A and B are shown apart, each in its own frame.
Chain A
């Protein structure tokens, strides 16, 4: 399970670490000291794997898209994370972390959410495990992702509106961290992406690595070669991307492409393309690239997709970018919308707007016919129907 890890202080090269206020130090340190020991036990692995299979519905299919393959002149496969229970890859991590929280004797779970997928996945895991659950969500996101808010409530979670700053994912994360400061003893904070202080980026990556683990097995079966030529994934904080990349990082064959949210264009001032615009900085406890002003104030990002609307990026992706192990690109809101519609109508799969960013990048690539390309279809589009209705005038 562990092929790609940070050093013991949580750094990937110069990125990562744990820049947390002293109030959070004991909690973060407890996790740092224990997460690997807990996750690597046979009991834990058995329970996690069983839940992945019987509750989440893994392995998710690897679907050969004849239509996309013909259109783009390559062998294109879709990793169907959208078919997971709750509709996205997020549940791989929440099930893993809630098992960790139980081992740490925590009684209560808090989490941030952007699109609401991580919130729903957390509320689901909490319902299953009988844990109290509080979800922090930006007021703007509550508005644009209403169905997910209702789902969380139905699952028994309390949804708290984050009204500070830009009222999106960044601010929901701030509020969740503040809530953790206020409740350090009985509460575990389930971060939804490979962001935050060490050990979160590594822990979340470990749980999401199941995606690339399965891709390997499935590709071997379908193509007799477990390593594809390309893996393409959307990149906000970076949890689905690291999951899809994880077991391919150290091979020289597979090109890893992460697609950021360009918003209305990288230079429009309304974007969430962190690698394109960010400078080194510290956000939510880790050193990474960050969209910020010259004076170090975090800039409020923009993306049509709430799940990519984040001004930072997981430190592991900052590292993969700087070491050229991955290529980070971006597509606009409009390009993502077009890709979402095309996949819906050609393959009968309505993708999440986040995942549509990965699909949209296909148009910018030139492949050789025999190239094997895996797109990580990280989530389904049900939650985005309001946006689709508005833009496609359905």
Chain B
């Protein structure tokens, strides 16, 4: 049986995955944003679990996380909100965040709760491959929750292959040596994307970090199954709000 994530990669190309921080701009916005992203035609949604010290994130996601925490967002509350998730969308949803809050919630409880509310995968940048393999793999597989790893331009071929072997959803290709939301010259990355494409990994790849418009979207799609956009979307809803129209406009400008 293939998972929701595997099935979307089979059916669609040029996948647009959008990240937002749960509890931002307002505490109760989570499902509204999911609904509007789904209606606007995105293919995959990443919901950020805010953390006070997000090491891999730039200022935009740092600020949305701070605000979300101030608004009262917690993992416990997020799971409450996500009880209605599968009534409003059929596209894959993954949770992204950092290890410490998940550890306090309880690793096993977290994974089974993901399965219960219909979350398909998790991205925890500070969960290393060896710890995943030792302590997480069995419970993730049991609950059918996919762990998604990042690779970067510094990752060795050997490391990329090990990560590909440990994955069953997609591999998250970090576009440059950077934190999220940076604007390093995108064209310099094409050689890197080509080298990843030539590895012929068993999992599809999505490219993220620094993708923010139609041009960067299309360029990334040439070398992968699609992209992940985070900071640019947060900036958009900060300025334009989370209404159906606002989100539709954002998605249309990337993928039309």
Contacts and interface: CB of A to CB of B under 8 A. Distances in A.
A184 B176 CA distance: 11
A22 B100 contact: no
Given A25-B159, A181-B177, A182-B179, A281 B104 contact: yes
B104 A295 contact: yes
A23 B131 contact: no
Contact of B125 (A22, A170, A178, A290): A22
A292 B104 contact: yes
B71 to A, nearest CB: 12
B104 A279 contact: yes
A235 interface: no
A184 to B, nearest CB: 5
B150 interface: yes
Interface in A166-217: 170, 174, 177-178, 181-185
A195 B53 CA distance: 15
A183 B99 CA distance: 24
B55 A21 contact: yes
Contacts of A184: 154, 177
Contacts of B62: 164
A284 B131 CA distance: 16
Nearest to A163: B59
A20 B177 contact: no
Given A22-B152, A282-B99, A296 B104 contact: yes
Nearest to B76: A295
Given A177-B55, A281-B103, A283-B100, A182 B182 contact: yes
Contacts of A282: 98-100, 103, 126
Interface string A269-300: 00000000001111111000010101111100
B58, B125, B154 pick with most chain A CB within 10 angstroms: B154
Query: Could you say which of B74, B100, B178, B182 has the most chain A C-beta atoms within 10 Å of its C-beta?
Result: B100
Interface string B143-168: 00000011110111001000100000
Interface in B87-104: 98-104
B56 A183 contact: no
B159 A295 contact: no
Nearest to B50: A297
B48 to A, nearest CB: 14
A9 interface: yes
Interface in B25-52: 51-52
Interface of A: 9, 17-23, 25-27, 164-165, 170, 174, 177-178, 181-185, 279-285, 290, 292, 294-298
Interface of B: 51-53, 55-56, 58-59, 62, 66, 69, 74-76, 98-105, 125-128, 130-131, 149-152, 154-156, 159, 163, 174, 177-179, 182
11 contacts: A22-B151, A23-B152, A26-B152, A164-B59, A165-B66, A170-B53, A178-B58, A281-B103, A295-B75, A296-B101, A297-B101
